């Protein structure tokens, strides 16, 4: 039920003006980022963010909305240029980003993880010394890779791809030895591809967070919806709607659909 509306919204994307002449909330997002925002084989836009948007904007706020594709790198500049009203793109809240955008309350917790090929016998981050690692450009995965590179005294080549699928393909094609990326998105890739696994071990996040997944984690992060810094009233409305869907069980229902089976 939720996805049909979003998919026709995607088809309309770009046809409507943003300020004033349309009531529609335009949502900037980099697609695909499965399971948060991606298309089915039939071309229908689905995902956790898409269902959360439906619950917040359509059900709670009674507003029309549409997703608009944009590259992740530069998504904040694009928001600030008025290309869309908000960002929903599995986007991590952090201090650097808060200098240019505001965020909603956190709505999802994620961890940076490392995917490797089973055949490569990489059993610790140190094994990546002298190798290539793939990331999506402009992401916290890229930042985490830079941190790992420092730990390896610079002995790591970071290859940044416009979309995460580029990094995943590079791993399958042996062009990189690892992909650093958000855990649940990498989990969906690992599940769909034989011969790919998470690098095991505790990592840094495990010490900070008892819910950290049981493999090597570099960070703990929270996703937020991104807003322009002059959009406080709307941001508050969205926070209220987010609180309401947490309260009435809708959030849990959506969560379980994508993550708990
Ligand atoms: N959570 C990471 C970040 O904020 C990755 C987000 C990528 N999202 C996407 N839709 N491609 O940097």
**CATH classification of the domain holding 149:** 3.40.190.10
H-helix or E-strand containing 234? helix 232-247
Check whether residue 215 and residue 230 sit in a common domain: no
Check whether residue 148 and residue 250 sit in a common domain: no
Band of the pLDDT at 59, cuts 50, 70, 90? very high
Check whether residue 133 and residue 192 sit in a common domain: yes
More confident residue, 3 or 168: 168
Task: Assess whether the C-beta atom of 182 lies below 6 angstroms from ligand 1.
Answer: yes
Check whether residue 67 and residue 91 sit in a common domain: yes
What CA–CA distance (Å, rounded) separates 239 from 227? 11
Sign of CA dihedral 204, 207, 209, 212: positive
Residue 194 Cα to ligand 1 middle (Å): 24
Contacts of 127 (CB under 8 A, 6+ apart): 121
Number of domains in the chain: 2
- Residue-level pLDDT at 207: 74
What CA–CA distance (Å, rounded) separates 166 from 99? 29
Check whether residue 117 and residue 214 sit in a common domain: yes
Check whether residue 156 and residue 189 sit in a common domain: yes
User: Is residue 159 within 8 Å of residue 132, measured between CB atoms?
Assistant: yes
User: Is residue 48 within 8 Å of residue 254, measured between CB atoms?
Assistant: yes
Angstrom CA distances, 77 to 18, 83, 143, 215, stand at 16, 9, 18, 34
Check whether residue 30 and residue 122 sit in a common domain: no
Residue 50 Cα to ligand 1 middle (Å): 15
User: Is residue 7 within 8 Å of residue 42, measured between CB atoms?
Assistant: no
User: Which residue is it, tokens 């900037």?
Assistant: 28
Please give the residue range of the domain that contains residue 125. 109-221
pLDDT at 9 over 90: no
For a mutational test of ligand 1's pocket, the pick from 53, 74, 136, 186, i.e. the residue with the most ligand atoms closer than 8 A to its C-beta, is 136
Q: What is the DSSP letter of 37?
A: B
- Residue-level pLDDT at 10: 52
User: Is residue 141 within 8 Å of residue 149, measured between CB atoms?
Assistant: no
Residue 90 Cα to ligand 1 middle (Å): 5
Nearest to 190 by CA among 37, 50, 34: 34
Check whether residue 122 and residue 194 sit in a common domain: yes
Check whether residue 18 and residue 49 sit in a common domain: yes
- Residue-level pLDDT at 209: 85
Which residues on neighbouring strands pair with residue 133, listed in sequence order?
158, 178
Check whether residue 149 and residue 228 sit in a common domain: no
Check whether residue 40 and residue 8 sit in a common domain: yes
Check whether residue 94 and residue 25 sit in a common domain: yes
For the entire predicted model, the pTM comes to 0.91
- Residue 211 phi/psi, 5-degree rounding, is -90, 5
More confident residue, 155 or 213: 155
Predicted ipTM of the assembly: 0.98
Angstrom CA distances, 246 to 1, 78, 184, stand at 20, 29, 20
Residue 139 Cα to ligand 1 middle (Å): 5
Band of the pLDDT at 261, cuts 50, 70, 90? low
More confident residue, 46 or 14: 46
Task: Assess whether the C-beta atom of 185 lies below 6 angstroms from ligand 1.
Answer: no
Tokens (6 digits) for 34 = 């499965």
């Amino acid at each position: 039920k939720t996805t049909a509306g979003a998919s026709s919204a995607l088809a309309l994307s770009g046809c409507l003006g943003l300020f004033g002449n349309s009531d529609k909330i335009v949502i900037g997002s980099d697609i695909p980022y499965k399971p948060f925002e991606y298309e089915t084989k039939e071309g229908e836009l689905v995902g956790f963010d898409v269902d959360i948007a439906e619950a917040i904007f359509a059900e709670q706020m009674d507003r029309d909305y549409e997703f608009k594709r944009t590259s992740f790198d530069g998504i904040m500049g694009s928001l600030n240029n008025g290309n869309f009203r908000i960002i929903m793109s599995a986007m991590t809240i952090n201090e650097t980003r808060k200098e240019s955008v505001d965020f909603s309350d956190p709505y999802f917790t994620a961890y940076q993880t490392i995917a490797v090929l089973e055949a490569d016998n990489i059993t610790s981050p140190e094994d990546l010394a002298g190798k290539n690692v793939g990331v999506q450009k402009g992401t916290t995965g890229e930042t985490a890779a830079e941190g790992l590179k420092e730990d390896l005294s610079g002995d790591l080549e970071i290859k940044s791809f416009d979309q995460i699928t580029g990094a995943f393909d590079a791993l399958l094609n042996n062009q990189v030895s690892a992909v650093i990326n958000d855990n649940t998105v990498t989990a969906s890739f690992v599940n769909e591809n034989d011969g790919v696994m998470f690098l095991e071990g505790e990592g840094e996040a495990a010490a900070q967070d008892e819910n950290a997944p049981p493999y090597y984690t570099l960070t703990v992060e929270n996703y937020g919806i991104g807003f322009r810094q002059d959009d406080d009233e709307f941001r508050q409305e969205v926070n209220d709607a987010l609180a309401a869907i947490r309260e009435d069980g809708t959030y849990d229902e959506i969560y379980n659909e994508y993550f708990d089976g």
